[in-house]
Structure 1
Amino acid sequence: MTAAKPYLTGHFTPVADEVVATELTVEGTLPPELTGRLLRNGHNPKPGVTPTHWFKGSGMVHGIRLGGGRAEWYRNRWVRTPALDGAPYMTEHGPDLTASAAGTHVIEHAGRLLALCEANLPFELTEELETVGAYDFAGKLRTAMTAHPKEDPLTGELHFFGSSPVPPFLTYHVADAKGGIVHTAEVPGASAALKHDFALTRHHVVFVEGNVSFDPNDRSGIPYGWSDQQPARIGVLPRGPHGAPQVRWFTIEPGNMLHVSNAYEDGRGRIVLEGPTVDREGFRLSWNWWIGAPGRGSEPVSRSYTRRWVIDATAGTVDEQIIDDLPVEFPTLNEAYLGAENRYQYAVSFPDEQGFGGYGIVKYDRTTGARRIHRAGDARMPSEAVFVPAAGATREDDGYLLTVVSDLKQDASQLLVIDASGLDRVATVHLPHRVAAGLHGSWIPDPAPDGAAA
């Protein structure tokens, strides 16, 4: 009997049904400023489907609506792309950018909800999470779109990129606050290295190419693998219409980073970039888990440690160091500080290679170096912690962290509302069924009566 793939078991067991539930049970008190929807995406193949790689599982978006101190509803829907019904990505005419898993992230920009997967076009959803269809920005998006676009908190612009294993390897895009693409440029010198995320500062766009690169011999359906021949590099280009030709590439230590914590220019004009990274062995363990191969680790991110790079463009140097030995992933922050120097960062902690450590929500104080953990509890795995500011916030950590917990012992899930300052639980919302462990999501606040963001 063939062993079940790890990404179809335990916390990752797919949800089999689409449901709608109203008036959910709440323990504690939901803050009144939590008026809107928490949306979260993740890979959730249909019953009877076993993808060859976790990343190929079809996307399912889960939504929880809060308002007036109530949890008004929960609903979940598959993103209905051609791939959900088995359409292949590669065709005789080349890649089909609409044949998307659409299972990595879900965002809102300029009034549109978009489900994202980096190899494809985004898919637009309705407020009720029904699928509208592939979205190409009125025909102006002709590449795939990263699952990790960055919305500038000052301008409202959406910065994103499309990457490809064949030239052009990297194309940078900017959409204005109204949702129209206003800038597209190919980035010189990029390679076929995997680029999952990137960083935005006030003055620069920062790309990271690690040692994971296109591998045509891979048979998992995600044609990438570790390559010692692929140099690890950071690419820095000035923001603006003439930035891409001025890109500079800086060599860094071997490794691979999936997600950026944040980046900013410090007082000396250097770029400070942080994010969890894995070494070669860490990538091997993760990849084996993602494809269900023998020798997989106990967790897919058991060797993922936060790293800091300080890029001095004037001197042409990069100083880098691992700044914490706790395995973490899914870094988040108060999005008002995206691209600027932030004091606080959050992440999900994971057990190490031996299974020690447990799950939790981590808060880092970058000023003092302190680390605090909200322990999730036995057999309870939290999702990425989404920060929502408190009403009248005056400090960076005045707000709440929203995370969906998969509870194996109870075969259930809850939405936890955690005080972002002290990491104390504020409220628990009980969901109608267990939500499979997934990837990324967003808080979509209701618009204020005057049309401004609530």
Structure 2
Amino acid sequence: MNRQKPAKDARAPRYALGFSTLDNEVSGVPLRVEGALPVWLGGSLIRTGPAKFEVGHQSYQHLFDGLAMLHCFTIGGGVVTYSNRFLRSQAYCEAMESGHIARGEFMTDPCRTLFGRVMAFFNPKLTDNANVNVSVLAGQMVALAETTLPVRFDPHTLETLGVLDYDTSIRGQVSTAHPHHDGKRGYSYVIEMGRKSAYRMFADEAGSQRLLCELPVDRPAYMHSFGMSEHFLVLTEFPLRVNPLRLATSNEPFIRNYRWTPEAGTVLTVIEKAGGSVVARAKTAPCFAFHHVNAYESDGAVLVDLLTYPDAGIIERLRLARLRSGEPLDATVRLTRIRVRIGTEAGDAVEAPRETLCPTSIELPRINYARCAGRAYRFVWGTGQTIPGNFIDNITKVELGSDGGARTNTWHQDGCYPGEPVFVARPGGSAEDDGVLLSIVLDTARERSFLLVLDAASLEEKARAAVPHHIPFGFHGNHFPDLVRPDEFA
């Protein structure tokens, strides 16, 4: 493990600031707004992301590893206020008390003996470093990562309130930070790894969880998200798989125990929401993805749209040392559709056709979720690259045409690096793209970040509001108009 805090390198790219620690915490700071906020825009944009990349003389190794910080932009009456606070998870508190990294993360692991690793596997001390997303589970606001330890917090003060416990039937160590909601109930999954491993899909309704189905698995796949249509859930297993016994006995961090096995292909399992029955299994060529974009039903099939890479090499490309060095980020990702025919035998997976919907690379996708999740849609927004090999430096809008083609539009400003564009619909708007996008942008010239407000249809800038410091690059968050409506976010 690297035990030296990275020194500043004059050769480092300007965007390396986004991979540097932020220690400053502020509360309710009013921000100067440039431009004009829409009069109808209110509520709060709340995000989580890594913000501390060193503890003592130890460094985290991967972008997915840094200790989580919450960021809240509250908007109302043309005014924006900003607060940020470290999530006081057990992983954070133990690290601050001990002066060293205390819990294993995605690609960083405290040094342990073989005995210690085996004991940790059967009596897991999972990380609760929830640095990936913010959502609502069991009616409570939570920060999420990829373990089964969602962390509750007060959305007004950002105070950490402790771990949310799942129902006892929802057993597992690994989960997703991307639960789905269909306006009636929420859905998610956990993965139990052990002598007998299983995927467990569950519904979240009225403050409790209900097991939908349990799918035994020999070599669990690494999955970051899943798909949801009107009537079905879609579990997509990429050929990045792990032997659970290896997790217990190797001397490697979590993700380094997974192996790329292209011969396994990519397997999709379609599960009925109502009863948890498996209604189809399909297989397509090997690929990898972090994010599903959407899924919907058409002509007896489920169309599953996701952002695919040819392999899992993107994981290695997101190591902190590599990102800070400015080595080109040259991964190829495409908006891809996989068509799964409903009614196929649930035993043997049938071959599923696959097509590229748009050749433009985008990531961190968002749609008009309240209107289109699980239904046919036209627009997806995400981040992309204007300068080849650069870190993400634009916001891209993709319009899917009825003829199978796609049109794109972008927002880009030299020296600025935007994050995930969160769509907020205009109240009473009739068009799918009638609203604004909210994105946190790193301005490398000023060494500060700002909240960017774009017209979602044209990508015309409406307003921006700078914060008093830089915000490290994060992943996901959501806009909460009244802090309680789960159908508004992904």
Q: TM-score range by the shorter chain?
A: 0.7 to 0.9
> Where do 5+ consecutive residues of structure 1 fail to align?
none
Moved more, 407-416 or 295-304: 295-304
Distance change >3 Å, CA 46–CA 360, structure 1 → 2: closer
**Higher helix proportion, which one?**
2
The whole-number CA distance in structure 2 between the counterparts of 1:361 and 1:393 is 22
Aligned residue in 2 for 1:376? 412
Letter of the 1:88 partner, please give it. R
In the alignment, does 2:151 pair up with 1:151? no
In the alignment, does 2:414 pair up with 1:407? no
Aligned residue in 2 for 1:332? 366
Normalising by structure 1, we get a TM-score of 0.88
Letter of the 2:482 partner, please give it. D
Deviations 1:28-79 (A, max 9, x none): 22123322110111122255441133222211111110111211x2111121
Q: CA deviation at 1:293?
A: 6.2
Aligned residue in 2 for 1:92? 119
Say which SS state the counterpart of residue 316 (structure 2) adopts: helix
Deviations 1:397-418 (A, max 9, x none): 1111111001112101111111
Letter of the 1:320 partner, please give it. R
Does the aligned pair in 2 maintain the 1:122–1:135 contact within 8 Å? yes
Aligned residue in 1 for 2:89? 81
Does the aligned pair in 2 maintain the 1:59–1:101 contact within 8 Å? yes
Aligned residue in 2 for 1:257? 289
Letter of the 2:102 partner, please give it. A
Aligned-pair identity in percent equals 26
The whole-number CA distance in structure 1 between the counterparts of 2:424 and 2:132 is 20
The whole-number CA distance in structure 2 between the counterparts of 1:310 and 1:329 is 21
The whole-number CA distance in structure 2 between the counterparts of 1:262 and 1:317 is 21
Q: CA deviation at 1:218?
A: 7.4
Aligned match for 1:135, one of 164, 185, 188: 164
The whole-number CA distance in structure 1 between the counterparts of 2:125 and 2:169 is 14
Aligned residue in 1 for 2:75? 66
Say which SS state the counterpart of residue 52 (structure 1) adopts: coil
Aligned residue in 2 for 1:11? 18
Letter of the 1:121 partner, please give it. L
Deviations 1:205-233 (A, max 9, x none): 10111121226357344333422344321
Aligned residue in 2 for 1:241? 275
Does the aligned pair in 2 maintain the 1:165–1:193 contact within 8 Å? no
In the alignment, does 2:335 pair up with 1:310? no
In the alignment, does 2:31 pair up with 1:24? yes
Aligned residue in 2 for 1:279? 310
In the alignment, does 2:158 pair up with 1:122? no
Say which SS state the counterpart of residue 64 (structure 2) adopts: helix
Letter of the 1:202 partner, please give it. E
Q: CA deviation at 1:314?
A: 4.7
The whole-number CA distance in structure 1 between the counterparts of 2:197 and 2:381 is 34
The whole-number CA distance in structure 1 between the counterparts of 2:52 and 2:391 is 29
Q: CA deviation at 1:12?
A: 2.0
Aligned residue in 2 for 1:363? 397
Distance change >3 Å, CA 299–CA 220, structure 1 → 2: farther
Q: CA RMSD in A?
A: 3.0
Normalising by structure 2, we get a TM-score of 0.82
Distance change >3 Å, CA 427–CA 294, structure 1 → 2: closer
**Aligned positions, number:** 440
Distance change >3 Å, CA 60–CA 269, structure 1 → 2: same
Does the aligned pair in 1 maintain the 2:22–2:471 contact within 8 Å? yes
Q: CA deviation at 1:83?
A: 1.3
> Where do 5+ consecutive residues of structure 2 fail to align?
96-100, 105-116, 345-349
Does the aligned pair in 2 maintain the 1:37–1:445 contact within 8 Å? yes
